[in-house]
Amino acid sequence: MSRYRGPRFKKIRRLRTLPGLIQKKKYQFQFDPKKESITFSKKKKQYGTRLEEKQKLRFHYGLTERQLVRYMHIAGKSKGSTGQVLLQLLEMRLDNILFRLGMAPTIPGARQLVNHRHILVNGHIVDIPSYRCKPRDIITTKDNETSFDLIQKSIKSSKKNTLPKHLTISKNNEGRVHQIIDRKEIGLRINEFLVGRILFSSDLNLSK
């Protein structure tokens, strides 16, 4: 299944807040409280609940089904809670790090910056949005006016947002990764423990 490229408001109305999918200013007045209370008062089956949690991950981080299954396998082989490791892997993607630093308004916007080769990691151009950042990585832009203006515009509009503790950004727009993100700092409301089973069932379907 390919990456979703359809209407973003449609997914936000169904799955509620997805901070990385669209700017807050554009959707904060879109919800009808009456409709919301009716929708979420309905009882959901166990499968439907798990599916919704999985879809939150997919659409927030902009992943394909296969990518999410692959991350789940990596998390399953790592030490610690599989669900927590999965979220940490997704949070340490370069496109997400740019979004969390405020260098891009959304994760799709961050992905575009990376694809267009505006971003440097430790002084080297990285054009792979899924690049996994590590502690002590330094993230900057190319030394040209176009790249600087794109980042500066986004940072100015996101100044009020507080950065998670594992990231900092300097006055000259130099972002730094200090450590692996803590679960408490992840801005997405999700129950990661419900994602595992439905992902592994998806994996069986994909392998046929």
- φ, ψ of residue 175 to 5 degrees: the values are -90, 145
Q: 3-class SS at 51?
A: helix
Name the CATH topology of 8-81+189-206.
Ribosomal Protein S4 Delta 41; Chain A, domain 1 (1.10.1050)
The pLDDT tens digits for 64-119 are 888 998 998 899 888 888 888 999 999 999 999 999 999 998 898 999 999 999 99
For 101, 189, 194, the CA distances from 138, given in Å and listed in that order, are: 12, 28, 34
What residues of the chain score a pLDDT lower than 70? Answer: 1-44, 159-161, 196-208
Class of domain 93-179: alpha beta
Residue with tokens 């299944």: 1
Q: Where are the domains of the chain?
A: 8-81+189-206, 93-179
User: Distance from CA of residue 73 to its chain's centroid?
Assistant: 18
- The per-residue pLDDT for 38 is 35
pTM assigned to the model: 0.76
User: What is the model's pLDDT at position 14?
Assistant: 55
